[in-house]
Structure 1
Amino acid sequence: MSLVTLLSRTCVTLVAALLAAGPTVAVAAPTPAPAGTPAPPTPGPAATRWAVQPSGPDGPTGRNYFIYDLAPGSTLTDHVGVTNLSDRPLTFQVYGTDAYTTADGAFALLPADRAATDVGSWVRFDRRTWTIAPGRRADIPFRLSVPANATPGDHAGGVIAAITQARTTADGQQVRVDQRLAARVYLRVDGDVRPAVAIESVSVSYDNPINPAGGGDAVVSYRVRNTGNVRVGGTGTVAVEGPFGWRLARTAPVDLPELLPGGVFTVTERVTGVPPALRLTAEVDLAPTTVDAALPPVLRSASTWAPPWLLLAALAVLAGCLAVRLRRRALAKRGAGDTSARDTAADPGRPAGSPATRPLVGPAGDAP
């Protein structure tokens, strides 16, 4: 089999395969919602159980959190209810501390060995240690004093009731375990409120498939930061586009966790079935909200290359096939020209391109 014939058959096979491949519709893979507030610790074998909730001098008030709007320099008195749900007396350490947003978007409180510097330090109890009888609740008063130089905006923390118990590890070591439950504190200090959210970075990667008909996975990550002075939430979506704004996929809105001022959260989306459209652009559309209102959307994008390798290979083969055909045609024309030139050289008197003639000879061999 000649090289020309082999290339021609390969060209036809690839073209047929490309025509058989149908269009691909990209589908956004579902993304799990970010983790929320961690559940309280599971009771140990001793069935040490208790509850912490906002309360008043006469008992619980039905509030889920301590929520305040106060001016700098103001002071108030409130109560926290600590209920002993165990069958023996329990001694609690009751105090205030600060909150922060974890890397996975959860609301968390400072560990016991870190001193509060914000709203947790503004909470004061008459004493730190409280012993409560089994099955009883203590409504413990505290004072919240806002410094005169407190910065405007949201300050978050918690009122904690903790129990420290001695435990024995599997290897026989004695350790002290600090178990804590808390009621959240949200305090807004009067002044200039500046809600703001920024998308600090966007990255996109693409798992380029060999067969463009199947599509590949695009992984988009973006980091959101609360750059204002109030807590924010909201939703985020990702749109993947090809050249000239060709929409390939769009994810469903993802709920963002509550971000305290300064909080950072990273979202990662995986979009499946995205065709290799040479150049992919992932645009993040963030719709932030506060407890009061919605904020203007925040947009940011990033791009990556997604060359359709099989299609490019097919085009290269087609170009090779065309070059071979043109070469064969040129050689055929050149061969025809050489034959005509030889005929002309054999009969110089004959015009170029005229058919050759043979002299007539009579029966006796004489010329007429």
Structure 2
Amino acid sequence: MFARATVVTIAAAVLLAALPGPAAAEDQGWSVQPATTASTTSAARSWFVYDVAPGQQVEDVVRVTNRAATPQTFTVYGTDAYTTTDGAFDLLPASRKPTDVGAWIVLGQRAYTVEAGRSLDIPFRLAVPTNAGPGDHAGGVIASVVTQQTTGDGAQVNVDRRVAARVYLRVAGQAKPAVQVEQVAVAYAGSTMTVTYRLHNTGNLRLSGAARLRVSGLFGVTLGRTPDIAVPELLPGASITVTERIAGIAPAGRLTADVTVDPATADGPLPSVTRSTSMWAVPWPALAIVALLAAGLLGLRWWRRRRANAG
């Protein structure tokens, strides 16, 4: 239990522009989106997207809109993105210092006050280091508001509500898209086969695509398959664990699970990647019947031979 005088910062979830349109927190009453500038070719950008070279600097503008009935002061800053374990795009908490895109974003100040019902266009500079690695990098520009609340036991907590616009950039250099299917594990119980595997983006481009599972028996006969599932966006270095189940698989001896991934980058599809693993699913009831029949036949032969010898 917190003491009455304790103040704890609680980070609320970051709202991000996953679909066209600004990222907005309707209950908080503000939104964040790329502003329209003379250098932009589109009047309705959903994200900040750049193709850059090491050492290049980009000037841009983020728009923070205050939909509340009173002025609000926002903390505006850049940070790095990462892929969560369930495949979601997320941004580092405020307590973690960015080392990638977030560290390259420079704003004129930290806090900005926006009048009620108004928007504020805030310029920033993206300074790409000369040693930036080639490939895709991702982050976000965040506008946050910290409010102090009192819990039921009287503790004081700071609630950090954050809204962000995504930043995607590709640094010029050798592109090396690659995905691996790792740690494939299979289990079989009650005619259901469960397959767990990890998809790991080992390249330097962000990936998405589709994955599917096929189970085969002896001589490659297909016993079951799953429809394609969408692979969420995996940032470079990210991995997710997938579990799929196929019911109605007969215990046909040696079973093989084939995991196939059809990866794709923003530039288009890549060659499929397949990894297989096998296990034994012994049809014990059928074997028991066969064993009983064999034992019966042997017993019958023994009995007939004994009668013949006695005669």
Normalized against structure 1, the TM-score is what? 0.76
Query: Is the Cα contact below 8 Å between 2:137 and 2:168 reproduced in 1?
Result: yes
Structure 2 residue runs without a partner (length 5+): 1-14
Q: Distance in 2 between matches of 1:97 and 1:244?
A: 53
Q: Distance in 1 between matches of 2:120 and 2:43?
A: 14
Q: Distance in 1 between matches of 2:153 and 2:36?
A: 45
The structure with the largest strand share of the pair is 2
Query: Is the Cα contact below 8 Å between 1:99 and 1:158 reproduced in 2?
Result: yes
Q: Distance in 2 between matches of 1:57 and 1:288?
A: 35
Query: Is the Cα contact below 8 Å between 1:38 and 1:106 reproduced in 2?
Result: no
The one of 237, 240, 252 aligned to 1:265: 240
> Once the two structures are superposed, what CA deviation does each residue of 1:69-124 show, in whole Å capped at 9, x if it has no partner?
01111111101110001111100000100001111111010000011110111111
SS at match of 1:327: helix
Amino acid in structure 1 at the alignment position of 2:93: P
Q: Distance in 1 between matches of 2:248 and 2:134?
A: 47
Instruction: Give the aligned CA root-mean-square deviation in angstroms.
Output: 1.9
SS at match of 1:116: coil
The one of 126, 129, 146 aligned to 2:108: 126
| 1:88 has 2:73 as partner | no
Match of 2:286?
311
Q: Distance in 2 between matches of 1:238 and 1:252?
A: 8
Structure 1 residue runs without a partner (length 5+): 1-35, 210-215, 337-368
Query: Is the Cα contact below 8 Å between 1:54 and 1:61 reproduced in 2?
Result: no
Match of 2:146?
164
SS at match of 1:273: coil
> Once the two structures are superposed, what CA deviation does each residue of 1:281-302 show, in whole Å capped at 9, x if it has no partner?
1110111111102111111111
Alpha-carbon offset, residue 56 of structure 1: 2.8
Amino acid in structure 2 at the alignment position of 1:101: T
Amino acid in structure 1 at the alignment position of 2:202: T
Match of 1:48?
28
| 1:190 has 2:165 as partner | no
Match of 1:289?
264
Query: Is the Cα contact below 8 Å between 1:197 and 1:227 reproduced in 2?
Result: yes
Query: Is the Cα contact below 8 Å between 1:56 and 1:139 reproduced in 2?
Result: no
Match of 1:16?
none
Q: 1:156 to 1:42 in 2, by over 3 A?
A: closer
Q: Distance in 2 between matches of 1:315 and 1:48?
A: 70
Amino acid in structure 2 at the alignment position of 1:188: R
> Once the two structures are superposed, what CA deviation does each residue of 1:159-182 show, in whole Å capped at 9, x if it has no partner?
000001111112121111100000
SS at match of 1:204: strand
Q: Distance in 1 between matches of 2:50 and 2:17?
A: 23
Amino acid in structure 1 at the alignment position of 2:169: L
Q: Distance in 1 between matches of 2:129 and 2:261?
A: 35
SS at match of 2:140: strand
SS at match of 1:113: coil
Identity value in percent:
51
Match of 1:136?
118
Match of 2:217?
242
Match of 1:63?
45
Q: Which has the larger radius of gyration?
A: 1
Alpha-carbon offset, residue 38 of structure 1: 9.5
User: What stretches of structure 1 move > 4 A for 4+ residues in a row?
Assistant: 36-43, 57-60
Q: Distance in 2 between matches of 1:61 and 1:104?
A: 33
The structure with the largest helix share of the pair is 1
Amino acid in structure 2 at the alignment position of 1:273: G
Alpha-carbon offset, residue 144 of structure 1: 0.7
Normalized against structure 2, the TM-score is what? 0.90
Match of 1:109?
91
Alpha-carbon offset, residue 37 of structure 1: 6.8
Alpha-carbon offset, residue 61 of structure 1: 2.8
Q: 1:37 to 1:132 in 2, by over 3 A?
A: closer
Amino acid in structure 1 at the alignment position of 2:253: L
Match of 1:200?
182
Match of 1:364?
none
Q: Distance in 2 between matches of 1:100 and 1:278?
A: 42
Match of 2:207?
232
Q: 1:41 to 1:318 in 2, by over 3 A?
A: farther
Q: 1:109 to 1:117 in 2, by over 3 A?
A: same
Q: Distance in 2 between matches of 1:151 and 1:188?
A: 9
The aligned length equals 291
Match of 2:273?
298
Alpha-carbon offset, residue 42 of structure 1: 6.6
The one of 305, 323, 330 aligned to 2:298: 323
Query: Is the Cα contact below 8 Å between 1:152 and 1:190 reproduced in 2?
Result: yes
Q: Distance in 1 between matches of 2:235 and 2:207?
A: 7
Amino acid in structure 1 at the alignment position of 2:281: A
Match of 1:217?
192
